[in-house]
Chains A and B, each alone.
Chain A
Amino acid sequence: MTSRDRLPVAVPAGEPAALAGEPPVAPARRRGRRSARAGRTPPVVAAAGLVAAAFLLLPLAGLVIRAPWRELPTLLAQPVARDALRLSLVSATLATLLCLLAGVPLAWLLARGSVPGRSLLRALVTVPLVLPPVVGGVALLLAFGRRGIVGRYLDAWFGISLPFTTAGVVVAEAFVAMPFLVVAVEGALRSADQRYEEAAATLGASRWVTFRRVTLPMIAPSLAAGAVLCWARALGEFGATITFAGSFPGTTQTMPLAVYLALESDPDAAVALALVLLAVAVAVLALLRDRWLRPGGATL
């Protein structure tokens, strides 16, 4: 907008439609102006934006178009596909539970605890968010592998060996997915009004009762969103899983691994499994729609 001072009538700030040299106009007219302005998008920008959108959406469209819809039930009923599907659902769910059990206390510690070096710790626990998953897998091997710094004692003392087992899949998925939950819950804990917890204390509630009956319900939306994100991330995990747990059908071959391996032997099965993962992703997006697609909504 060019010059506000040429307006004959004072216009409240934040009224972009009142154009220079014009008296304020009727609302209907104003709206017309606004859309006219929206139509003045520079063509270069519009073109580049459309290309980018096409780049993001075309592959997905390709997947949907190329999918062997008619054979889909048969393909997904194959033992390999069925096993991968079941294993993925089970391991992602277990990983999410693990994340909830360990991640919520960690989030509480980061939000409310009085641990030294808290901000450093906060930065470190989000490292798996940006770490290449393969690197995560290698790191897990070095820590929990049969000769890893922790794994050797697990093996020697308890006879537990995580690598190349379903438990290893769960560990790998939890490692990669936990930051999603921690970041979401920590943000909610930090923004929750702690005076409600004080009110609970004056009513005789212990800290645990306060957490369960006051804090938890107040952070429930963030907790649910974090858990859904966490589960989706665990379901799609590839790099850390294949590095740490390998790819044994029935025990460690999750859907993403099955898709990758089937691409050579049975492309139709790969596409069918990929389609399932895409459907899950879309469902997650729909679940989180309010949080993500609303302007000013919580990020992550």
Chain B
Amino acid sequence: MRPAGVGGVDDARTGGAGGVSGEGGGGDRALRAHVMVARPSGFTLDVALTVPPGTVTALLGPNGAGKTTLLRALAGLLPIDAGQISIAGRVVDDPAAGVLVPARHRAVGMVFQDYLLFPHLSALDNVAFGPRSRGASRAASRQEARRWLERFGLAELAGRRPGALSGGQAQRVALARALAGEPRLLLLDEPLAALDAATRLAVRAGLRRHLTDFAGPSVLVTHDPVEAMVLADDVVIIESGRVVQQGPPAEVARRPRTSYVARLVGLNLYRGEARAGTVHLPDGGAIAIADTAVAGPVLAALRPSAVVVGLTEPHGSARNTLVGTVTGMEPLGGRVRLAIEASAPVLADVTAAAVAELRLTPGMTVWASFKATDVDTYPDVSAPPAGADPATTAPAGPTG
């Protein structure tokens, strides 16, 4: 997590942003939003979000979760039905108070999913479009655009039309265009989705650098967990229009709260009731855990690499042994991830050599074992949205 109000910021961009005083740790320049949108289809979005200046918040979630809707509401392309959005201390959308600032007056920079560079304008004029629209003279806006292109290492491409740019170059031009307007909020909608895997890595590194340089709050929409982990200081997971988990990337990766997040970060997740060193699962299974003190509704996370797979019943120290059927095999890096259907479904990572030696194939009966100390349990504090997770038990009580 970077400190708010990062040093080494180009003052050309901070100039003019109101409320630069130190009060509240620069909180005046934060994005504060409570976005409620109801769609005719019955879909509702209800998300509260605070993004401090100089930090990046990633919105992560499955398709149709409402991430892009939220981003469009922040940009001013979609009025909210209830709630409030304030950018840098200025309320830009508040239906109750009758306030709605249109997109062009919000000082928001947005990078669109497929960049939407104007096809008939050169890279230079694309970047100059913002300053020009905000009243700078043609010469001044071009000069400003040239500075941004230089900063992004794109100076020699200034005269090119978007059609003549590579995906990575177009992405950088789009980012330069969004930043050239000196925005107080930067929004990025799947900024790397249009790139092939090879360029994505390089562009991602560059994007991270530029996001670090940006002094205002940034909101990034993605469905790629790695992208969120690499680029963001905070991750907000949205499912079906609601926040299901929120926190620093490392925390989210370690302690997922829904099966969707667990799948994203590649962990086994069990939701159940802890009693005397055992987590009782709603459908009858039980998992032994090391901590005998924990009680009540808990989540239990287990790394697939901690699971040992064998063809016979193991007689070791592992206190959890499950017998089940291999239902799926998926190569993953140098390993193979097995999906095992047992009293508690388990994902297990084994080496390719082990697969060959045990002659594992889907449909085989295997034993999966893991140590109680490898199971990380934590209280199930959040009540996930109804129907989002079939393994839901009663929501947890108050926690410390």
Contact = CB atoms under 8 A, between A and B. Distances in A.
Contact of B103 (A195, A201, A218): A201
**Across chains A and B, which 8 residue pairs bring their CB atoms closest together, nearest first?**
A205-B133, A203-B130, A201-B103, A204-B133, A199-B116, A217-B120, A204-B134, A202-B110
A117 to B, nearest CB: 22
A199 B133 contact: no
B116 A206 contact: no
Contact of A214 (B76, B102, B104, B118): B118
A201 B133 CA distance: 9
Given A209-B133, A213-B129, A202 B118 contact: no
A198 B77 contact: yes
Given A201-B77, A206-B133, 15 more contacts: A193-B116, A195-B112, A195-B116, A196-B116, A198-B77, A199-B110, A199-B118, A201-B103, A203-B130, A204-B107, A204-B133, A205-B129, A205-B133, A213-B129, A214-B118
Interface string A272-300: 00000000000000000000000000000
B257 interface: no
A214 to B, nearest CB: 6
B90 to A, nearest CB: 15
Nearest to A209: B133
Nearest to B77: A198
Interface residues of B, number: 24
Interface string B108-122: 111010001011100
A201 B130 contact: no
Given A205-B129, A214-B118, A199 B134 contact: no
B37 to A, nearest CB: 16
A200 B133 contact: yes
Given A209-B133, A218-B120, A201 B112 contact: no
A74 B116 CA distance: 57
Interface of A: 193, 195-196, 198-206, 209, 213-214, 217-218, 220
Contacts of A198: 75, 77, 103, 116
Given A195-B112, A214-B118, A200 B129 contact: yes
A214 B116 CA distance: 11
A175 B395 CA distance: 70
Contacts of A206: 104, 133
Nearest to B130: A203
Contacts of A214: 118
Interface of B: 75-77, 102-110, 112, 116, 118-120, 129-130, 133-134, 177-178, 181
A204 B104 contact: yes
A interface: dominant SS: helix
A202 B129 contact: no
B118 A196 contact: yes
A255 to B, nearest CB: 36
B120 A201 contact: no
Nearest to A199: B116
A202 B180 CA distance: 12
B40 to A, nearest CB: 16
Contacts of A195: 112, 116
Given A209-B133, A213-B129, A201 B104 contact: yes
A202 B103 CA distance: 5
Given A195-B112, A209-B133, A213-B129, A202 B77 contact: yes
B181 A204 contact: yes
A214 B117 CA distance: 10
A193 B119 CA distance: 11
13 contacts: A193-B116, A198-B77, A198-B103, A198-B116, A199-B118, A200-B129, A201-B102, A201-B103, A204-B105, A205-B133, A206-B104, A206-B133, A213-B129
A200 B119 CA distance: 13
Which of B102, B108, B116 is the most central at the interface, judged by chain A CB atoms within 10 Å of its CB?
B116
A201 B75 CA distance: 9
A200 B110 CA distance: 10
A218 B118 CA distance: 9
A203 B116 contact: no
B69 to A, nearest CB: 13
Contacts of B108: 202
A217 to B, nearest CB: 4
A203 B76 CA distance: 12
A202 B120 contact: no
A201 B104 CA distance: 5
A198 B68 CA distance: 14
Nearest to A201: B103
A217 B133 CA distance: 16
Contact of B133 (A193, A196, A203, A218): A203
Nearest to A202: B110
Contacts of A202: 75-77, 103-104, 106, 108-110, 178
A197 to B, nearest CB: 10
Contacts of B129: 200, 203, 205, 213
